[in-house]
Amino acid sequence: MILSGTKIAKNIYKELREKVILMPEKPKLQVILVWENSPSMRYIKQKKKWCDFIGYEFELKEFWNQVSEAELIKCIESSNQDISIHGILVQTPLPAHIYTQKILNSIDPKKDVDWFHPYNQGKVVIGDKSGLEPCTPAGIIELISHVEKSIGGKYIVIVGRSNIVGKPLANMCINLGATVSICNSQTKDLIRYTKKADILIVATGKPKLISKDMIKEEALIIDVGFSVVDGKIWWDCDFDIIQKTHTITPNPGWIWPMTVSFLMKNILKAYYLQK
């Protein structure tokens, strides 16, 4: 069975739109882009499309790639003070001369809709739901909830330990009562873990890392990763695993909408956190 995030995301957009239409003041997202002719523009256009649909205001602030850290921080500090801006999103990657975490740390945690500030990250570790949420992990948990009543007691294996997917997702699953293993590129004998997983979540960007023989019958597989080799998209899981599983694949088509819909949820939450 294939589970798609597209339909679930559309319902989230509609629910948000119904709430925003009743609001006298509209929440506003500011996106900061530093990259000449960046492919990031494709992602930004999608975010704008859904902001327009929901009724959020959207502002794009562009800088050429020679911009200094100081200039960027000055811009963010000014947006932090601006009460008409409720969410600030710095589109990454940033040019090599800029220390990305320093820039992200300068965003007011209440406006950190892309969830990069250590304050919000810490809240997820301790299971405090009052802060903003990591968009991709929260989207994955929502997807899982459509096929599993509870993940308490499940054995979940996450392949990939990035700050944006693997680590926050592991914390969220632990807080929900799952038993979690998190693997990385140095994990020895990966199959030893993947083969036992009730739920396997793969976010590596390594083509066909997971094959049919690496999973157990009837496991739920969430394939977050993808890569482009010679112009062709590859998923982290070999597509033939579909014969054996519930599977959510391929990304970017079906996980990406969940990420964007949770970004949209964060914008509304950020608005209320500032009231």
**Rounded Cα distance, 51 and 24, in Å:** 16
Contact 57, 29 (CB under 8 A): yes
**Rounded Cα distance, 121 and 138, in Å:** 13
Question: Any catalytic annotation for residue 114?
Answer: yes
Question: Measured between alpha carbons, how far is residue 122 from residues 3, 89, 92, 220, 231 in Å?
Answer: 31, 19, 21, 28, 38
The residue from 28, 30, 110, 114 that is catalytic is 114
The least CB distance from residue 144 to ligand NAP, in Å, is: 14
The least CB distance from residue 235 to ligand NAP, in Å, is: 9
Residue 24 CB-density burial (10 A; 0-12 exposed, 13-18 middle, 19+ buried): exposed
The residue from 91, 110, 112, 167 that is catalytic is 91
The least CB distance from residue 10 to ligand NAP, in Å, is: 16
Question: Any catalytic annotation for residue 213?
Answer: no
Name which of 21 and 228 has its Cβ closer to ligand NAP.
228
The least CB distance from residue 213 to ligand NAP, in Å, is: 16
Contact 5, 258 (CB under 8 A): yes
Phi and psi dihedrals of 49, rounded to 5?
-55, -45
Question: Any catalytic annotation for residue 30?
Answer: no
Phi and psi dihedrals of 141, rounded to 5?
-60, -40
Interface with ligand NAP (CB under 6 A): 136, 159-162, 164-166, 183-187, 190, 203-206, 209, 224-227, 251-252, 255-256, 259
Name which of 123 and 161 has its Cβ closer to ligand NAP.
161
Name which of 67 and 183 has its Cβ closer to ligand NAP.
183
Name which of 3 and 85 has its Cβ closer to ligand NAP.
3
- Which residues are part of the catalytic machinery? 47, 91, 114
